Structure 1
Amino acid sequence: MRCFCEQQETNELKLEGDIDTDPLWCIHCGCNLEVEELPLSRELQEELARWAAAYGDWVDWEKDQLLPNGHLLEDEHNKAGLSLTEKLKKELNNDYKIEFSPSLMANNYPA
């Protein structure tokens, strides 16, 4: 996949949620990558899109506070991310190194 690294290409990816972005990143340069550029099934692309869209659903953005059970909601999101990481590895036949970076956003809010 094309990225901003010196060689302008990477096969080392990180699955990480963020607001309004695709959830794949170059491990080295941090470039946000297009999910559609990978040879993935439509089903997995859609799962990744739903997972990415749910990032931060444990925060009340207007009040800038964690929702009730926000830590649990974030934990569920992270578990789903681990599962998606395994699906990515399987569909990509180990042609890519893929790591998962869990969300730690809830740690920034009082319990």
Structure 2
Amino acid sequence: MQCLCYKSTSHLKVEADFGADPIWCHQCSYNLDISSIPLSNSLKQELNDWVLDFGKWYDWKHEQVIKSKSHWVDKHNQLGEILTEKVKQELSPSFTVTFVPYKH
């Protein structure tokens, strides 16, 4: 997997962002194409579903978490931790994987 570091990366991070795949280079923060990551199709689908839920609790007009849905942020982060553990299991020992929670 090539990133902006111009070398193959072995340290990845799992992080949700609007309109982006959930796997990033940990060093340069380049968003990696999930199809290039050697993960099972079922885990790729779980990660994609997780990212799609990311915007359901965000108020785009005011650029903040919707107050009545702030508990969804915690659920999002909990699921992100679970998914990161699955990514670690599938990519170990070739990759180090870190989870980056959404901070509100």
**Fold shared per TM-score above 0.5:** yes
Cα gap change, 1:67/1:3 in structure 2, threshold over 3 Å: closer, same or farther?
Answer: same
Matched to 1:5, the amino acid is C
Q: Which residue is 1:19 aligned to?
A: 18
Q: Deviations over 1:7-37 (max 9, x none)?
A: x210100100100000111111111001111
Bigger CA radius of gyration: 1
Cα displacement (A) at 1:39: 1.4
Unaligned runs of 5+ in 1: none
How many residues in Structure 1 have an aligned counterpart in Structure 2?
104
CA RMSD after TM alignment: 1.5
Cα gap change, 1:65/1:99 in structure 2, threshold over 3 Å: closer, same or farther?
Answer: closer
- Partners of 1:101 and 1:91 lie apart in 2 by 18
Fraction of identical pairs, as percent: 38
What TM-score results when the alignment is normalised by the length of structure 1? 0.85
Tell me which protein shows more helix as a share of its residues.
2
Alignment of 1:50 onto 2:55: no
Q: Which residue is 1:2 aligned to?
A: 2
- Partners of 1:31 and 1:18 lie apart in 2 by 12
Cα displacement (A) at 1:40: 1.0
What TM-score results when the alignment is normalised by the length of structure 2? 0.90
